[in-house]
Structure 1
Amino acid sequence: MSTDQTDAVEAFEGLGLTSYEAKVFIALQQLGSGTARDVARVVDVPRSQVYSVAESLEERGLLEVQQSSPIRYRPVSVDEARETLRERFENEQERAFEYVETVREEPNGEEEQEDIWTVRGRTRVDDRAVDILSNAEEQIVFGTRLPELLTEEIERTLEERAASGVDVMGVSREPVIRSQLDDLEGVSSFSPPDHRTDDERSGRIVIVDDDSVLLSVVDDDGTETAIWSAGSLFASVLIQLIEANAEAPMR
């Protein structure tokens, strides 16, 4: 098989077909129609296997069978096959996730655990920070020392929450970042206490409503890793510790 054909077979497998089903379907598209012998000539599927594979493809609605001697097979059009597989994929997806949702909703009898999560990678930390900020109802504190960590989406989210009545404050030792924060509608900024001047690892801090927190660090290679927690005792205690060491009030 060529590289392109191998890729196509793998793609059909991702849509739920077996390798043999994908190969027979592709072969029949090449032939237009044909017998099991014809199919076996153009694809590496044993002739004895073509019959059962074709029967399976017929059940899937991907080919038609002509009751002749010998039996001939004709594939449905590409558009019809695409629509058939799309509907099948969507149905299977719905069936699978309906069950998952049911399982998630069922109580398992375990005691509630404190949720402390780790997120790795700049994009994933971006997404988690925005998600936490978006849920703010009363107060937000956002801080960073690195301009690239104050993304446009975070800026937009800070302004949106401020417009909805949330008290939004930014914190940074870097004047350029404080200026950037102050330029946001409804956002004010302050500089944290100078407990350390050699900080080269801190990334971001997000505090929301006294019960959600995200803290990140940046490795030497630029990789960002964060821990976050929402609605937990851990988050509440950590926020209290942070507030106790801050010069500016966070309330």
Structure 2
Amino acid sequence: MDDSTLADRLTQLGLSEKEVDTYLSILRNGEAKASEIADNTGVSKRYVYSISESLEDRGFVEVNDHIVPTTIRARPPSEVIESLTSQLSEMESALDSRYSDTERRAQQFDVIKSRVTVVKRLTEYISNATDEVMLSVPQQYLPEIADELEAAVDRGVLALLVVSNAADIESEDVAGMASVARSWQQEMPIVLTVDGQFGLVAPADMIIRSNSDQRAIAFVQEQLVPVLSGSFLGNYWPMATELYVAEPRELPATYRRFRQPVLQATLRLRADDPVHVTASVHPVQADTDVETLEGTVVDTRQGLVEPQTNAYPIEHTLVVDTGEETVTVGGPGSFIEDYEAEEIILSES
């Protein structure tokens, strides 16, 4: 490493240009008087004393002011590196803590400028999905995320897919990529929600046209993502034509989110396959302890598959015969059902 590169590295450690010149002069001499260093660096002897004290505080040199004349000696480089390493190690946990916090805050709301980053964020979010994915995407882009969608469905994730700009798509083109897929010939925004926590919205131009100056927005916000989910189910999903519905999944199965068990119960009821439900519930809008509700699902209200049976887009309800009465069960945030469920277990009746 030449002197110029070494000087650059020392500057990166926080040394000023004069401090670097002084330190390199001391290194070359091993030990020197302040007057000698002043002559070599072109600064005053008083300034050499000041810089040397700063370098001593940082562990680079030792100032021998107990002798006359005062000399400045360079510490062995191995000791300097060891000292710097120790200081950096002490900072590591604090830096990690602040970096993680900064990263978390940045993810709350990100403006995305490039198509590549949109693709990366979509695949990242889908790959990390554990419960539910809602996605609208142009047909020409579907192959780029097909693997992530198929893997999510294999994990038991509810995947609701709208394929836009779809002129000639067939059901076999999306088989395995969704729980339910719909197609729409018109262009529409790219919309993604994952697990009620992660969301992304992008103009279709941003994916379709490489020279687009449009921007996408990605966010992590539990209060905002459900609003986007409601918009997806209320504005985009009904406009599209049903293209593909997957076979019912194997039972028993446990669910923390509610639309998947409603879909599975609906599919089994239509196949005359009764479903037993065990749910951890509490009365809607009541501050009471959780209780266990058991019974047979006799009906559903939903808009996930045709024909639609709900009164409004976000209504997804299980109608359960407990043996004593027939009650309605909704998911978290329910307000018209009898009970709000925290966990649902479906099993064969």
TM-score normalised to structure 1 length:
0.64
Structure 1 pair 211/99, CA: closer, same or farther in 2 (3 Å)?
A: closer
Q: Once the 2 structures are TM-superposed, how far is the Cα of residue 226 of structure 1 from its aligned partner?
A: 0.9
Partner of 1:85: 84
> 1:7-86, aligned counterparts within 5 Å?
8-9=6-7, 11-43=9-41, 45-66=43-64, 67-86=66-85
Q: Once the 2 structures are TM-superposed, how far is the Cα of residue 82 of structure 1 from its aligned partner?
A: 3.0
Structure 1 pair 129/19, CA: closer, same or farther in 2 (3 Å)?
A: farther
> 1:141-160, aligned counterparts within 5 Å?
141-142=134-135, 143-144=137-138, 150=144, 157-158=148-149, 160=151
Instruction: Confirm whether residue 209 of structure 1 aligns to residue 195 of structure 2.
Output: yes
- Assess if the C-alpha contact under 8 Å between 2:59 and 2:83 holds in 1: yes
Q: List runs of 5+ in structure 1 lacking aligned partners.
A: 104-114
Q: Once the 2 structures are TM-superposed, how far is the Cα of residue 64 of structure 1 from its aligned partner?
A: 2.5
Helix, strand or coil: the match of 1:137?
coil
Structure with max Cα Rg: 2
Structure 1 pair 209/97, CA: closer, same or farther in 2 (3 Å)?
A: closer
Q: Once the 2 structures are TM-superposed, how far is the Cα of residue 127 of structure 1 from its aligned partner?
A: 4.4
Distance 1:214 1:206 in 2: 5
Q: List runs of 5+ in structure 2 lacking aligned partners.
A: 103-107, 246-303, 305-349
Q: Which structure would you say has the larger RCO, counting Cα contacts within 8 Å and 6 or more residues apart?
A: 1
Partner of 1:245: 239
Distance 1:169 1:81 in 2: 59
Q: Once the 2 structures are TM-superposed, how far is the Cα of residue 193 of structure 1 from its aligned partner?
A: 0.9
- Post-superposition, which runs of at least 4 consecutive aligned residues in structure 1 deviate over 6 A? 99-103, 178-182
Q: Once the 2 structures are TM-superposed, how far is the Cα of residue 100 of structure 1 from its aligned partner?
A: 8.5
Helix, strand or coil: the match of 2:129?
coil
- Assess if the C-alpha contact under 8 Å between 2:134 and 2:229 holds in 1: no
Instruction: Confirm whether residue 166 of structure 1 aligns to residue 164 of structure 2.
Output: no
Partner of 1:139: 132
| C-alpha RMSD over aligned residues | 4.4
> 1:175-214, aligned counterparts within 5 Å?
187-188=177-178, 192-196=183-187, 204-209=190-195, 212-214=198-200
Distance 2:17 2:68 in 1: 27
Q: Once the 2 structures are TM-superposed, how far is the Cα of residue 168 of structure 1 from its aligned partner?
A: 4.2
Distance 2:48 2:130 in 1: 62
Structure 1 pair 99/212, CA: closer, same or farther in 2 (3 Å)?
A: closer
Partner of 1:228: 218
- Assess if the C-alpha contact under 8 Å between 1:125 and 1:225 holds in 2: no
Helix, strand or coil: the match of 1:84?
helix
Distance 1:57 1:8 in 2: 16
Distance 1:44 1:160 in 2: 68
Helix, strand or coil: the match of 1:30?
helix
Helix, strand or coil: the match of 1:16?
coil
| Cα deviation code 1:158-209 (max 9, x no counterpart) | 4553443223466464889x99976xxx53595731124xx8xx6x543323
Q: Once the 2 structures are TM-superposed, how far is the Cα of residue 50 of structure 1 from its aligned partner?
A: 1.7
**Greater per-residue helix proportion:** 1
Count of residue pairs the alignment pairs up:
227
Distance 1:135 1:77 in 2: 50
Identical positions, percent: 20
Q: Once the 2 structures are TM-superposed, how far is the Cα of residue 136 of structure 1 from its aligned partner?
A: 1.7
Partner of 1:112: none
| Cα deviation code 1:25-63 (max 9, x no counterpart) | 233233333232333334355432221221222222222
